[in-house]
Amino acid sequence: MMRSVPTLTVSLVMALAMPAQASDTRPSTVLDAGDVAPRFGPMKLHNAEAAQMKSFTLSKFVGADAEKPSKVVLISFFATWCGPCKKELPFLASLDRTYRDKGLQVVTISIDKEEEAFEELRALVKEHDVRFPVVSDRYNVLARRYLGAKTAMPSVFLLRADGTIALVKQGYDGDASAFLTAEVEKLLGGS
């Protein structure tokens, strides 16, 4: 004769076996410093003309087989509804102009979904003379791979030339320019 296990016992065992959920008040990513960044691309650009590329592929810039190896790749996740993201964009354009020739590759990944947001993003890119790639992740496939289901915006990842993550920063308390400049300079070797 087969005995049935009480439902409460099964529920308790399953609950204890499940991983803990991150708190809603603290952002969490899927990736952290030291992890290998997932490769992606080719991805459509919002500013192909300004970036002088047809699309963006991460493996062109990092890893052993990189076509155009960079010392550092800065990936920033962006949305037009995010005030700090809009504030960060002109700073990233300045950072790109200052450190591109020293080995920095900047890329912004837009998680906007609506056509109206794309128009606003293209206007911001033009206004701030953004020359680095601004990529579209309309369905947030890449965002989920890097950020998980929920995170603070903007979220920045700094990658080393080998494709490992050197820094993850989610949301900013105040001005991001000081810490991002310091981290980029450190990873570039004191440029």
The pLDDT value recorded for residue 151 is 75
pTM, to two decimals: 0.82
Residue pLDDT, tens place only, 85-121: 999 999 999 999 999 999 999 999 999 999 999 999 9
DSSP alpha helix (H) spans, 18-114: 48-51, 83-99
Residue pLDDT, tens place only, 119-159: 999 999 999 999 999 999 999 999 999 988 777 888 999 99
The pLDDT value recorded for residue 2 is 46
Between the two ends of the chain, the Cα-to-Cα distance in Å is 75
Residue pLDDT, tens place only, 48-87: 888 888 899 999 999 988 999 999 999 999 999 999 999 9
- Domains annotated on the chain, with CATH: 36-188 (3.40.30.10)
> With 70 as the cut, is the pLDDT of residue 4 above it?
no
Q: Between 83-99 and 115-127, two packed helices, what is the crossing angle to 10 degrees? A: 40
- For CA atoms 76, 137, 113, 49, the dihedral sign is positive
